[in-house]
Structure 1
Amino acid sequence: MRLLPQSLLVLTGLAITLLPAISRAETKPTNGVLVEAESFNQHGGWKLDTQFIHIMGSPYLLAHGLGQPVADAETTVKFPETGTYRVLVRTKDWVAPWKAPGSPGRFQLKIDGQPLKETFGTKGAKWFWHDGGTVEITKPEVKLTLHDLTGFEGRCDAILFTRDLNYQPPNDLSPMDQWRKSMLGLPAEPEVTEPYDLVVVGGGYSGMGAAISAARMGCKVALIQNRPVLGGNGSSEVRVWAQGLVRRGKYPHIGEIIAEFADSAAASPGTYEEYGDKKKEAIVRAEKNIDLFLNTHAFAVKKEGDAIQSVTAFNTKTSKRTEFRGKLFADCTGHAEIGYLAGADYYTHDKGHMGMSNMWTWKEAEQPQSFPDLEWALNLNMDDFPYPKRFHGEWFWESGFDKDPIQDLESMRDWNFRAVYGAWNAMKNKGGKDKHENAVMTWMAYIGGPRESRMLRGDVILRRKDIVAKVDFPDGCVPSTWSIDLHYPKKQYMQKYPEDPFISQAVFDRSVDRKRGYPIPYRCFYSRNVPNLFMAGRCISVTHEALGTVRVMKTGGMMGEVVGKAAAVCVEKDCQPRAVYTDYYKDLEKLMARKGIERRDTVDGKFYTPENSQELPPVIDPYIDPATLPGMVIDDENENVQFVGKWTKGEGLKGYIGNHYVYHGKGKKAEIHFKFEVAKTGKYEVRLAYGHHENRATNTPVTVRSADETKTVKINQRIKPPLPHGFISLGTFEFKQGQPVEVIMSNTGVDGNVHADAIQVLPVD
């Protein structure tokens, strides 16, 4: 475990720039041409991969063809002069770290249609400049083509043509280092924006929530996302369905913004259409206070004293650099990348952390579908992995539990590739081949879905014990309704590759109230040592265990909504995020009480609701809190309730009291005993709550038994109870102070299911 204060420089008042901890290249530029693969005019079937820039220094193109060679990527290159050039291609043999045979990522580089003799992707366990030999350039403009040979994850970062035939380019590159800028002819300084009120980095649910919320509160916002789509793990690229309940708790309007764009996936991974990438982008672009920057990767931070002054980013297709200045910043990157670069305190759970998933789908075609027998994939048989039901390889295809959660991300993703292809090989060519002759893989995520990496430190570090004990923080505001859900390797599938398991299991702690939610404190949403830095999503101030409940997308999105509103308070009051809690929390509460569709054009403007806005219908809670009802209410999960027989818990019939109701069929004896005592002698009405249904009994016996009286009534539970909240009266009784009373429901002689929810005891005047 590491608890690292990243106080990289503490020179108050001095502007400093912080870059990733990748060694700087000292080699001087050469006479030649550098072509970034991501800048190709046509990517063809190659995918732009930006998720490992912090590791290897650049975006790259990936031939993600599921075993079918992808269409060529093409571009035109102008040369300053003709002559002999040495060609070097930055690439790797992606299975070489495991000494696996076969080099699946093979590809060719063609110059004006003629392939170089060297085949790339066949050497190097790490990224390096693969020497492609020399070539004669006889005209000022040539066509370059990346030609995939396998469809199995070939990758190309850049191509260098150099007139110095002995030149060796630097390999340990940081994003936009001096060598790369010089070779590309980029300006010495980036373009600088006017100051924004809030700069949000990361376009997942938390980033979208922060940006939209702040914009509607009147802030001028920059939203920076290094992918071509919004949604993060909840986009069509990763396809993790959004979980966590919204619009509940103390501030029931929090979550209304998330409800506008949340996916409609019925399961994870789901289909492309269910994730609504275009809808998400349209909602963001409709906000006139947001400037959206897709395909833009933030890689450096500039500070004045402890505070962030700006974030510098580059376009992942054109390499154009922009410095985004701002008053406030929100780290919604998931990996806490901005906080890390800014020297924010953070924590990582080094060993036994949750890993990365790459889900996949398949179908049965009408005709037989061949698939090569893969020597480089994991050597799996049908009993080495869970059979992918419903044509899905689901969330549990997860690895990297003991790897570095930042520096080993590419290795995690590539191991997942080997695992999935190994399972598919088993289905197609080994034990499953007779059953799956027509099966074809239809999709696999090449963008990994990580669950845990850095967690920034705020003024409160939320812990599991706080959640279990239901500690009532005064600034609790975002309801977390997901169980404490931690992932571990599943022992059943660890035998063959125990050093790096690839199938996980979820271990749930159900201490969280999954209907009402546990309110996460606002003080978890800003950095304790970088004064103008907010955070939202899975990089907030929590422990490893507490992350298990707060990390799902809709919950992260609501964090973003609160951050956006807090940013508006900061701008209006000219203060920093901490002061919102210490001095202006009532102002934040007023904003959190407003509807998600309400807005103002500036932070000092008047609120209004756009004419074309549609209000969401109110949330109808499926449950009734027993504490809100008059009299004495004893719910079915009260400690004074005793069960005879095995009763089933249910939540399907809405309007129940507490967390659920219980029911039992006819046959084997079953009883439920509600026990209580009254505090004062007198007359009391006793009521029973149940949920009516056509399969219920028409003759359910219910007995009220006290020291002085026993009365049994039979209830037709197919008929709706006549009293509010699903109650029916069992009669009025004389009870004495301190004497035990029981209400007993039985299934003796019934003609259907019996159903019990709660009893209510009301004094009669």
Structure 2
Amino acid sequence: MTFQRSLLTLTLTALCGVPLAAQAEKETPKAGAKAKASAENKKTETYDIVVYGGTSGGITAGIQAVRMGKTVVIIEPTKFLGGLTTGGLGATDIGNKKAIGGMSREFYHRVWQHYQRDQSWVQQKREDYVAKRHGGNTPNEETMWTFEPHVATKIYDEMIAEAKVPVVYGERLDLKNGVKKDGTRITEIVMESGRTFAGKMFIDATYEGDLFAKAGVSYHVGREANAKYDEKLNGVQTGHARSHQFIKNVDPYVVPGDPKSGVLPGVQKEAPGEEFAGDHRVQAYNFRMCTTDVPENRLPWPKPANYDEKNYELALRNVEAGDGRLSWNPVWMPNRKTDTNNNFAISTDNIGLNYDYPDGDYATRDRIIQQHRDYQLGLMWTYANHPRVPEKIREHFTKLGLAKDEFADSGHFPRQLYVREARRLVSDYVMTEKNCRRLEIVPDSVGMGAYNMDSHHVQRYITKEGFVRNEGDVQVGSRPYPISYRSIVPKATECTNVLVPVCLSSSHIAFGSIRMEPVFMVLGQSAATAASLAIDAKVDLQKLDYATLKAKLDADKQVLDFESPAKPMVESLDKAKLGGVVVDDVDAVLTGFESHGASATPFIGAGYAHDGNAEKGHQKAVFRTQLKEAGQYEVRLAYQALANRASNVPVTIRSADGVKTVKVNQKEKAPIDGVLYSLGSFKFEAGQDAVVEVSNEGTDGHVIVDAVQWIKK
């Protein structure tokens, strides 16, 4: 849930040159109408369960409450339901789809049913789409995981209507005095209009967490230090942030080479912070645009009325430096449409301009939402039209445009900002990296997560060499894992009748895995189940018998776990314990090799880099050190073998013996500890550069670079 009233009072002049006066007039009541509404809103409306936030999690919570015989209301601050699921995110992120059950799987079954109908295919044939298996759809399971935004809206509307769930639109919580409590129990919540809702139980299903925060419940914003919860992937990650990264040296100053001239928009002056330390920063937001390449249904990219070229100077310098990658990720949905996400160095993520959003008031959030919309539309126009952008890139960005048959009420631009992270509850149990790796398994599951631990970049800073770099991106695999009931309820000393299925208790990096729409659906349903059972038992949420809850969750076909007990994961090798001199990939000089992996194990350090099986002949990794003692050294290359690896990786060793190139077959498992391959024995002089260079020239698969080891004979 985001608070985007400004969107409905914008004009399409900023988007497509057509005013939205009619919509704005509908959304803005007259003064007399406000007074009348204020008088009417003095009456308190009472329900068993009050759900604040009509996100996917809020919708499933409302429906489940009705199914369990409870009176319920969903209060949605905007004019639309569904959050990101109806707001452009049609490429479902989950990882192992076996983890999704209950009403969440019911939703994706209804998506499948919709696209079984011939009339649902307007811009392409069903068989053409299914043949390409876009989005990993699973027709044999009668589920479909990719869909158009209006289809998600249609399905949710049908589900809400079938359950007869009352929905109140356009009412926002009073952020000053909107939560009334009696001891540890919320008694009622008050909207800005004065409209008041009382309940036995409350569910905060928003992306921001306003209700539980204003109830005095503990929460956290930003990244924790690794040391806080004994993690490896939290906090500042300059060494780890290799994906979606600059591959060319780009000057960050207004006047190139002159720090006194100031920095370009989007680049911070301060240092990124101590490695692995916590900070206040949150991962970047964007809009998941729905585009199409069908000319009859495609709008050309509009140039925003407030377009300022300086906001895109960094992007222009990056392409001029030779970064020819297409900086977005349009994933194909049915009917020749896309769910378009961020990709590479400068893309749809508006890095660093969302720090004030989680705790901001509505005016602050509206300003940030507008900034993101303006930035993203301006970037699209720049890539499609600016003469400084290479013609090949311009041609690509003009082939796709906003879909005319989506988001008609908002200029065909998504209504929902992708709030990837805001407040996070701090309860008696905090989900962490250990859960995602199945090193710690909770006994009180209310659903499962299965996606990678995924953080987008959080800041853009200047290196000591004077170039710009992104920081914060982490993409490390998880194993399907259970999510604790304790993580969706506060501490008993703070509140005993509110559940938080979206902004749940989790560290930054674990939330990067949990924060997926189907998981929010699962947790919303489980939250309403717990609320209903607690009402029946007349107990606080923290005292609810888990066995009773589990029995109902099982009956509703929720998936609580399917990979137990824990299996220790031997994946990270400490280079300090390997002996000799080891240079990890994070310390190598990489040209390309911006993709990061950690799913194939074991690996040295935090993971490994690879070439993405692309740009052959243009990517290389140089491992360099100076050995303290002269002598003969065995040189070893670290990599992770898989069938998709290259069989002919050229590795060049520069030593006192001269220059030698060895071809390595990375399809075959390395014989030493499953990760190290001996390149041979070479002579090195003390204090002279010892260099190993890995190239992807002429290779026939993915090229992996993890580390190089020198061991004195």
Cα displacement string for residues 621-670 of structure 1 (whole angstroms, at most 9, x for unaligned residues) = 9x99999xxxxxxxx9898xxxxxxxxx9xxxxxxxxxx98589999977
Residues 189 and 592 of structure 1, relative CA distance in 2, 3 Å threshold:
closer
Map of 1:230 onto structure 2 = 81
Q: Which residue of 1 aligns with 2:285?
A: 356
In the alignment, which residue of structure 1 is the partner of 2:91? 241
Structure 2, unpaired ranges of 5+? 116-132, 137-144, 223-278, 320-325, 331-337, 403-411, 568-598, 603-611, 613-640, 649-663, 673-713
Q: Which structure has the higher relative contact order (CA within 8 Å, separation 6+)? A: 2
* Code of the aligned partner of 2:166: D
**2:71 is matched with which residue: 220, 228, 232?**
220
Deviations 1:278-323 (A, max 9, x none): 11111122114x3222333333222222211122346xxxx6x532
Q: How does 1:327-366 map to 2 (within 5 A)?
A: 327-349=200-222, 351-360=280-289, 361=291, 363=293, 365=295
User: Aligned partners of 1:292, 1:324: CA distance in 2, in Å?
Assistant: 12
Aligned to 1:508: 475
Q: Is the alpha carbon distance of 1:384 and 1:365 closer, same or farther for their aligned partners in structure 2, counting shifts above 3 Å?
A: farther
Contact 1:485–1:549 (CA under 8 A) maintained in structure 2: yes
Partner of 2:39: 187
Name which one, 1 or 2, has greater alpha-carbon Rg.
1
Deviation (angstroms), 1:411: 3.5
| 1:605 matched residue in structure 2 | none
**Is the 2:328–2:348 contact (alpha carbons within 8 Å) kept by the matching residues of 1?**
no
Q: Is the 8 A contact 1:255 1:596 kept in 2?
A: no
Q: Could you tell me how far 1:204 is from its partner in structure 2?
A: 1.3
Match of 1:524 in 2: 487
CA displacement, residues 75-101 of structure 1 (integer Å, 9 cap, x when unaligned): 9xxxxxxxxxxxxxxxxxxxxxxxxxx
Secondary structure in 1 matching 2:200? strand
| Secondary structure, aligned partner of 2:456 | strand
Q: Structure 2 CA distance, aligned partners of 1:393 and 1:664?
A: 28
Which residue identity does 2:496 align to in structure 1?
P
Is 1:592 matched up with 2:583?
A: no
- The structure 2 residue matched to 1:568, chosen from 532, 553, 558, is 532
- Change beyond 3 A, Cα 1:626–1:468: closer
**Cross-structure match for 1:747:** none
| Counterpart position of 2:443 | 474
The change in CA–CA distance for 1:280 and 1:375 in structure 2 (over 3 A counts) is: closer
- Shift, 1:52, TM fit: 5.2
Q: Residues of 1 paired with 2:16 and 2:94: CA distance? A: 37
In the alignment, what sits opposite 1:387?
327
Correspondence for 2:183: 305
What is the distance in 1 between the residues matched to 2:309 and 2:462? 13
Q: Which residue of 1 aligns with 2:501?
A: 536
1:591-631: CA deviations, max 9, x gaps? 0111359xxxxxxxxxxxxxxxxxxxx99x9x99999xxxx
Amino acid at match of 1:534: L
Whichever structure has more helix as a proportion of its residues is 2
Aligned to 2:16: 68
Provide the rounded CA distance (Å) in 2 between the counterparts of 1:304 and 1:543: 30
Secondary structure, aligned partner of 1:325: strand
**2:423 corresponds to which residue?**
454
Question: Hey, what does 2:358 align to over in structure 1?
Answer: 405
So what's the TM-score if we normalise by structure 1? 0.51
Matched, 1:51 2:3: yes
Check 1:590–1:305 CA distance in 2 against 1; reply closer, same or farther (3 A cut). Answer: same
- Over 3 Å counting, the alpha-carbon distance change for 1:262 and 1:210 in structure 2 is farther
One-letter amino acid of the structure 1 residue matched with residue 93 of structure 2: Q
Instruction: Report the Cα distance in structure 2 between the residues aligned to 1:494 and 1:409, rounded to whole angstroms.
Output: 31
| C-alpha contact 1:226 1:294 (8 A) present in aligned 2 | yes
TM-aligned CA distance change 1:488 to 1:371, over 3 Å: closer
Q: Which amino acid aligns with 2:534?
A: C
Amino acid aligned to 1:339: F
| Closer/same/farther in 2, CA of residues 341 and 307 from structure 1, 3 Å limit | same
Query: Is contact 1:203–1:225 with CA below 8 Å preserved after alignment?
Result: yes
Q: Deviations over 1:679-737 (max 9, x none)?
A: xxxxxxxxxxxxxxxxxxxxxxxxxxxxxxxxxxxxxxxxxxxxxxxxxxxxxxxxxxx
* Residues 332 and 638 of structure 1, relative CA distance in 2, 3 Å threshold: closer
Distance 1:295 1:185 in 2: 13
Tell me how far apart the structure 2 counterparts of residues 64 and 494 of structure 1 sit (CA, whole Å).
Answer: 40
* 1:96-146: CA deviation from partner (whole Å, max 9, x where unpaired): xxxxxxxxxxxxxxxxxxxxxxxxxxxxxxxxxxxxxxxxxxxxxxxxx97
| Gaps in structure 1 of 5+ consecutive residues | 1-48, 76-144, 147-154, 161-178, 598-617, 628-635, 640-648, 650-659, 676-765
Normalising by structure 2, what TM-score? 0.54
Q: Is the 8 A contact 1:351 1:403 kept in 2?
A: no
Within a 5 Å distance, the mapping from 1:362-373 to structure 2 comes to 363=293, 365=295
Q: 1:64 to 1:494 in 2, by over 3 A?
A: farther
Structure 1 residues 373, 342: CA separation in 2 closer, same or farther (over 3 Å shift)? Answer: closer
**1:666-681 alignment runs, 5 A limit:** none
Q: How far does residue 228 in structure 1 lie from its aligned partner after superposition?
A: 3.0
- 2: distance between equivalents of 1:353 and 1:220? 36
CA distance in 2, matches of 1:65, 1:440: 20
**CA distance 1:255–1:525, change in 2 (3 Å):** same
Q: Decide whether aligned partners of structure 1 residues 65 and 439 sit closer, same or farther in structure 2, where only a CA change above 3 A counts.
A: farther
The CA deviation at 1:535 is 0.9
Q: Quote how far apart the aligned CAs of 1:492 are.
A: 10
Contact 1:258–1:557 (CA<8 Å) still a contact in 2?
no
Whole-Å separation in 2 of the counterparts to 1:192 and 1:626 = 49
* C-alpha contact (below 8 Å) 2:448/2:481 kept by paired residues: yes
Within the candidate set 406, 410, 431, 2:388 is matched to 431
**CA pair 471-254 structure 1, distance change in 2 beyond 3 A:** farther
Amino acid at match of 1:387: S
Please give the alpha-carbon distance, in whole angstroms, between the structure 1 residues aligned to 2:208 and 2:451: 21
Q: Using a 3 Å threshold, how does the CA distance of structure 1 residues 241 and 492 change in structure 2: closer, same or farther?
A: farther
Following the alignment from structure 1 to structure 2, what is the Cα–Cα distance between the partners of residues 413 and 470? 38
- Following TM superposition, by how much is the alpha carbon of 1:521 offset from its aligned partner in structure 2, in angstroms? 0.6
Does the alignment pair 1:419 with 2:375? Answer: yes
- Residues 278-293 of structure 1 mapped to structure 2, 5 A cutoff: 278-288=154-164, 290-293=165-168
For 1:447, give the aligned amino acid: Q
Deviation at 1:215, TM superposition (A): 2.2
In 1: Cα distance, 2:66 partner to 2:549 partner: 15
Amino acid at match of 2:79: P
**Alpha-carbon separation, structure 2, partners of 1:50 and 1:671:** 50
Of the candidates 127, 150, 153, which is equivalent to residue 277 of structure 1? Answer: 153
1:16-53 alpha-carbon deviations (Å, 9 max, x no partner): xxxxxxxxxxxxxxxxxxxxxxxxxxxxxxxxx97157
CA distance in structure 2 between the partners assigned to 1:352 and 1:362 by the alignment: 34
Specify the SS of the correspondent of 1:470: coil
Q: Cα gap change, 1:493/1:282 in structure 2, threshold over 3 Å: closer, same or farther?
A: farther
Q: Is the 8 A contact 1:50 1:60 kept in 2?
A: no
Q: Structure 1 counterpart of 2:162, which letter?
A: A
Are the equivalent residues in 2 in contact too, given 1:312–1:322 (CA < 8 A)? yes
Checking the alignment, whether the CA contact within 8 Å between 1:262 and 1:554 is kept in structure 2 is no
